Amino acid sequence: MSFCKLCRMLWLVLALILALLDALFGRATAKTPLPENIPLVVATYAYPALDRQTAVTPLQNWLQQQTQRAVVIQVADDPAQLATWVARQEVDLAVPNLATYLKIRQQNPDARFIAVPKTHSPLIIKSQYRGSIAASGITSLSELRNQLVGGRTIKVFAVFPDSTTGALLGLSQLRASLTESQFNQLQLHYAGSHELVVQQLKQHPFAIGILSANTLSRLNHDRTLTELWRSGEIPFGPITCLPKRLSCAELKLALANNMVASRNILNGLKSGWPEFEHTDSLSFHEHKVYSDLLREQLKNR
């Protein structure tokens, strides 16, 4: 075989190999969307009887218009799952409760506060976003301590583990009010909603409930339940930005300067969070209380 013929054969084989590689990698590239083609994600968590998907749709629409990118909504089963999604960097904007916001900030220091519903007008009745400890058959925390003497167990109904007003605040207060052995005598049950905590208390003649003060006031007109403790007013969980694919500072400024979008987003959120009922605007200032709560959470790790 002549040298020229051998060269031609080698070039032909090389060309075939290159063609095959191009076809293989071309198909692989076609099957793997580029990052900028992956939709942005607005995520929140579910709550019984509330349409959270619809509640965050105005936020989805605004983000889509602002970024000129596709945006999808994902609703987690509970706040813990939402925190997991954020930790996996699967979320771009989150609407968490307060406890989950603190967990997000703890896991991802780059997470950024965007806005939170707030009451600015003095003419509007301010929302009492507070936690309560209520009881059936017990009239005070002192009586609770006395009832626990001798090893008696008492059922405690809360909402779910990551609920701020429906678990964390009340459990913290009970832990502070009781000895360790007394606290360990409490039998904790999660009802799934603030309303179901009230229902459980009314079905159990001797029990403790941890829930929001608003819900207790709304559903305890007959005064069958006794409020043992009420927290101070606490902040809401804010709209939270994760900076992997977004410029959080630019988004915050854009929303702060868009009154129509802010109003639409707030109205949407109010439909899915009853505690936002008396809010009248979005606040873009991250109050010091958030950093104080985060610092306290880190101390208790």
Write out pLDDT tens, residues 120-164: 766 555 556 789 999 999 999 999 999 998 788 999 999 998 788
E strands in 14-167: 40-45, 71-76, 93-95, 112-118, 131-136, 154-158
Region(s) of the chain under CATH 3.40.190.10: 38-120+236-299, 131-230
Model confidence at 183, pLDDT cuts 50, 70, 90, reads very high
Give me the mean pLDDT over the 21-47 stretch.
65
The values of phi and psi at residue 239, to 5°, are: -60, 130
State residue 285's pLDDT score. 92
- Listing from the earlier edge strand, what are the strands of the sheet with 154-158? 186-190, 154-158, 207-212, 131-136, 226-230
Beta-ladder partners of 158 = 190
CA distance 190 to 94: 24
Exposure letters 95-107 (e unless 16+ CB within 10 A, then b) = bbbbbbbbbbbee
CA distance 188 to 201: 13
* Percent of the chain clearing pLDDT 90 (strictly above): 69
Model confidence at 33, pLDDT cuts 50, 70, 90, reads very low
Q: Distance from CA of residue 87 to its chain's centroid? A: 13
State residue 163's pLDDT score. 85
Model confidence at 3, pLDDT cuts 50, 70, 90, reads very low
Residue 287: CB partners within 8 Å, gap ≥ 6? 235
| 3-class SS shares of the chain: helix, strand, coil, % to 5 | 50, 20, 30
- CB atoms closer than 10 angstroms to residue 224: 14
The arrangement of secondary structure in 38-120+236-299, i.e. its CATH architecture, is 3-Layer(aba) Sandwich (3.40)
Model confidence at 289, pLDDT cuts 50, 70, 90, reads confident
Q: Considering the entire predicted model, what is its pTM?
A: 0.71
Whether 24 has a pLDDT exceeding 60, the answer reads no
Top-tier CATH class for 131-230: alpha beta
Write down the mean pLDDT value for the chain: 87
Q: Which residue has the tokens 């950093």?
A: 291
Give me the mean pLDDT over the 90-102 stretch.
95
CA distance 75 to 77: 7
Q: Which residue has the tokens 């998907």?
A: 53
State residue 9's pLDDT score. 56
State residue 20's pLDDT score. 52
Model confidence at 32, pLDDT cuts 50, 70, 90, reads very low
Give me the mean pLDDT over the 250-275 stretch.
97
Whether 219 has a pLDDT exceeding 90, the answer reads yes
Give me the mean pLDDT over the 103-114 stretch.
94
